[in-house]
Amino acid sequence: MNLKTCQYFVALAEEMNFTKASEALHITQQSLSGSIKRLEEEYGVELFQRKPYLKLTPAGETMLFYSKQMLRNESQMMASLADLSAECSGHLILGMSRQRI
């Protein structure tokens, strides 16, 4: 699974609507549907119950938990790397004395 597929899955899981999720992602509904189908095939699980309404399966709940972690970690990594490339990172050591009463 790549990060874009991960983003697509999280968007759909949050919207619970293919049309709204595809609009938010600025992709076609067919692209989103195909991406989710390939993801389900890759892991051999059904991520969404589609009838009578769209709902996450237990596998989908697990995938959502880990997908959000992966996206959060990637975002933190990008921020850290941006700081390093801008030479804006380091260590700050503070010293404090006790207040006398």
**pLDDT one-digit tens code per residue, 32-43:** 999 999 999 999
39 and 1 Cβ atoms separated by less than 8 Å = yes
Into which CATH architecture does domain 3-81 fall?
Answer: Orthogonal Bundle (1.10)
- Quick one: pLDDT at residue 89? 65
Q: At what angle do helices 3-15 and 18-25 cross, to 10 degrees?
A: 130
Domain residue spans of the chain: 3-81
Q: Are 46 and 57 in contact (CB under 8 A)?
A: yes
Q: Is the pTM of this model over 0.85?
A: no
